Structure 1
Amino acid sequence: MHDAPTHVTPNRRGVLLSGLALAVTPAQVWAQMAGGAKAPLPTRQQTLLDQVADLTIPDTDTPGALKAGVPAFVSLAMAHGVSGSNVPVPPALFTGGTGPEGASALDWLGFELDLKAGGKFLSAKPDVQFKALADLDAQSFTKGNEKSPWRMLKGLILTGYYTSEIGASQELQYELVPGRWDPDVPVGPKERAWSSDWTAVDFG
Structure 2
Amino acid sequence: MIVSEIFRSLQGEGKNQGRPCTFVRLAGCNLRCAWCDTPYAWNEGEEMSVGEVLDRVWLLRGAYICITGGEPLLQREDLLELLKKFKLHGYSVEIETNGSLDFREMQPYASICMDVKCPSSGERSDLSLLSAITAHDSVKFVVADMDDLLYARAVMGRYRIGGEVFVSPVKGSDCRAIADYIVSENLPVRFQVQLHKVLGMR
Bigger helix fraction: 1
TM-score range normalised by the length of the shorter chain: under 0.3
TM-score (norm 1): 0.25
Bigger radius of gyration: 1
**Higher RCO (Cα < 8 Å, 6 or more apart):** 1
Given the two structures, how large is their TM-score scaled by the length of structure 2?
0.26
In terms of fraction of residues, the more strand-rich structure is 2
